[in-house]
Structures are given as structure tokens and as C-alpha cells.
Amino acid sequence: MFELSFKIEGVQELHRVLMAEVGKVENMTEPLRRSGQLVLADVQENFRTEGGLVGGWVPLAPGTVKQRGSANPILQRTGAYKGSFTQHVTRKSTTISSFAPYHKYHQSLLPRSRLPRRPTLALVERTRQNIVEVFNKYLRFGS
């Protein structure tokens, strides 16, 4: 909790402005929601470009291509994985997650022998800068 208390005679407007700023820090829902939307947009961009934001995904194995009859699109045969990403926002946090049970395997950095790593969720520098901008704007000018 953040609390600020002071008394300045004849300057009630300053007090109201400062207290409004304190309130912004206590409820960061709006910039957190906007930040999460930026990350979710990157997830969709990764699906659209087959991992373009993370250096590209490993191509499908020849056997998988033969079974499907096509090499594209990677990780999008049914659309379930692409549609599994959600955002949960509270006053002080935002969480981006996937309810697909295999998401953790595509994201994992652990050594593997069968399922190649195809990360969908990544925080790239451009998005990181945009998130900083969202918070700066919110704290300076309001939503």
C-alpha cells in the first residue's frame, strides 16, 4: 500500500492532483490490460509468420507433411492452439496463458528428442518498449 499525507494551506487543488496520481499506482488495470494486448498481438503474429518474431519455427518433419498433405501452417491444423491464449488482468498484474496442454512443451527450453521447440509466447524488444510507453503515458497523462 502506498499512502501520502500532507497539508498545504490554500492549495487544495495540488492535494487533489497528487492524490489522483497515487490512485493510478494502486490500480494499474488499464496499462496492464493494454500491455497484455500487445503481447497477445505478438502471439498472433508468431502464428501468422510461423515464429517470425522468435527466429522462425522448426519446419514440420517430412512424415508429418506426408500425413497432412501439406507443410503449412505449422501449429494451426485445427486452430485450437492459436485460439487458446487468454489474458487475466487484476489491479496489479496481468497474466497471459494458454489452456492448450502442449503449450508448455513448445515453450520449454529443456532438451528434446521428438517435439521441436516452437515458442509462441515471447517478449520481443519492440513490444517491451511499447509496454514501457503504455505505462509512461498512463502515469503521466492518465488513460
Q: Are 52 and 109 in contact, with CB atoms under 8 Å apart?
A: no
Q: Residue 9 has what pLDDT?
A: 45
pLDDT digits (tens, 9 = 90+) for 50-77: 999 999 999 998 988 998 888 779 999 8
C-alpha cell read off for 72:
503449412
Query: Where are the domains positioned within the chain?
Result: 28-141
41, 67, 134, 143 from 140: Cα distances, Å = 25, 55, 10, 9
pLDDT digits (tens, 9 = 90+) for 90-114: 988 899 999 999 999 999 999 988 8
pLDDT digits (tens, 9 = 90+) for 22-57: 666 778 899 999 999 999 999 999 999 999 999 999
Q: Residue 5 has what pLDDT?
A: 42
